[in-house]
Chain A
Amino acid sequence: MRVVRRAGWVVVLVVLIAAWQAFVRWRGIPNYLLPAPSDVARALVDERGQLASAALVTLREMLAGYTAAVAFGLAAAIGLHLSDAARRAVYPLLVASQSVPVVAIAPLLVIYLGFGLAPKVLIVALVCFFPITVNALDGFRSVDPEYRRMMRTLHAGRAAIFRRVEFPSALPGIFSGMRIAASYAAVAALFAEFAGGQQGLAVPMRDQLDTPLVGAAVVLLAAMALALFAAVVLLERIVAPWTRHAGR
């Protein structure tokens, strides 16, 4: 029963794909308007060489940018948490920075940094940085103040309180931000490639009339995003197993 409950999404997915296939075939919709799932699957097989090398490029951009965002986002959150002055000075600017559309500055980054890997990694990192930083900071700030009071009477200095209480307490928040960022990373990498690049999954997507190939690239991109998300969930289960028992 548990397996059936957990696999419910598979059933929904299969039903949706079947409905899509039936709709396209029944209505005789031309391929260039809406490819049938079978056409997308055929493109995945026929163009596997081109798609695989493109997906590897996108995956590399995605992982490099995401890793940088996690490292810098966590460092920023820790800095802002430990320094009231830094939080007051930087946090409002950090929030305001989210109103600057990455779409607008991406071409500039390409001009500054060229058509290589660097601007793509930077764009992914910029997109992923904010949810990681804000969620980690919220995690640090949501620690029950009673912990700090108690720890002060148990000989703990500021560093010990952070290391033994605040950081582990904030892990659910940190992983929450990492999960949100994981879902953004693939799209951010694709967007970066559209802004300026000759490699990656954006290349097969540029030929909008070859809709089965576009569909195949989208499937690969979604699979990469899901895989990164699942990896973060798995990491959370290993690093913070108690979060599954919260509230017991």
Chain B
Amino acid sequence: MRMAVLLKAVPPAEENPYDVGSMRMVRDQLEVNPFDLVALEGAVQLKERHGGEVVVLSMGPQGAEGALREAMARGADRAVLISDEALSGSDLRNTAMALESALRRLGPFDLILSGERSSDGNMGVLGAYLAARLGLPLLPQAVSLPEVEGGHVVAPCDAGEVLVLKAPLPAVVVASREMAKPRLPSLKDKMRAKKSPIERLDCASLGFSPLPNLRLVGVDPMPQKPRERRILKGMDSFDEFFEALRGVMGS
């Protein structure tokens, strides 16, 4: 079974990587989007069960290489990075269309997996976009590892309620964060991944020209909600606290 896992290299969650002047994210230090690690783990477990190949595919700056090596250490067989100055600052549509061209180039795949969202953009729409562009069925938010049998994939998916969905292969599966628990790579795996090649694609090799991006007119620090900060101290203040709590509840 051939599987592609879409992977985004993101700034670490605790960093503060926006350059407000240029309205660009500073992507010096990057790691694998934690939600994509779940999708990768799912793919590796399916490979262990059914055999096959796991290709990780990312679009990002040169600095995303480290994230792809991390994915190799965690069980991916091949890593492909789409990197091009023309794609810097891509919005969702351009990102998805570049990934689509690469999937067509590297395919066919039986399963394409993505994480439920990225920790920086928090959008959660990429899997659905690609499924529609490729004309493939979508299993959104799979809550446990999909079963693959007889040319079909079955998985319970979170759609407000839990639906057990079945689709013919090839299909796109979006991994919810509950789907699998990412493994930690061993030191040996890390050393091996360090030497693994990262394949490169760019706009020219894909024959892809990006559309104009969304027009970003400003990035502001999120306005903080004003808070009253009435802090009471000790159990002696409990009655006062409870009265204030009733006030807050509006009862």
Q: Are A and B associated in one complex?
A: no
